[in-house]
Amino acid sequence: MLVVEDDSMVRHVMIRTASALGVETEAVQDGKTGIAKLNAQSFDIVVTDLKMPGLSGLELLEQIKSLHPKLAVVVVTGFAEDDEEDAVRAAGALLLRKPFNPTQFKAALTWAAQQVGARV
């Protein structure tokens, strides 16, 4: 799994929770680095923040679906406009609202794993 999150504390919680589930996780702090990672390595799941400086999570989602359409994507956000929520859902991604707890994050990872035929 690849985590793309600009907030280091949230990124750490995601990594720790995924690791407890046995999910191998790499993490980066911005969308441009996320795209570079996706083009260099193989991932099944991407978890990305929606609001990030530079390349936003929505822009990242659009590129992922264009370049790697089989990836399962979870988009996390503290706030999203209605059109952003619609775009996330239209792309087949799951929207997870911040603040979330480990149980909610685990449920999102389970959903993502099911999308790609994996288990967590």
The full DSSP string for 38-54 is HHHS--SEEEEESS-SS
pLDDT tens digits along 25-47: 999 999 999 999 999 999 999 99
Taken in order of first residue, the domains within the chain and their CATH numbers are 2-114 (3.40.50.2300)
The whole-number pLDDT of residue 119 equals 82
* pLDDT (tens digit per residue) in 44-92: 999 999 999 999 999 999 999 999 999 999 999 988 889 999 999 999 9
Residue 110 has pLDDT above 90, yes or no: yes
Q: Is 112 helix (H, G, I), strand (E, B) or coil?
A: helix
**Cα–Cα distance between 61 and 87 in angstroms, integer?**
9
Pick from 43, 26, 20, 22: nearest CA to 103:
20
Partners of 28 in the β-ladder: 4
Question: What pLDDT is stored for residue 120 in this prediction?
Answer: 82
Whole-number Å distance between alpha carbons of 21 and 103: 11
Name residues whose C-beta falls within 8 Å of residue 32's C-beta, 6 or more positions apart in sequence.
54, 55
Question: Quick one: pLDDT at residue 118?
Answer: 86
Asked if residue 22 has pLDDT above 90, the reply is yes
| pLDDT value, residue 81 | 87
Give the bridge partners for 72, in sequence order: 45
- Two tokens, residue 73: 């994507």
Instruction: Give 31's contacts (C-beta < 8 A, 6+ positions apart).
Output: 4, 48, 52, 54, 55, 56, 57, 59, 60
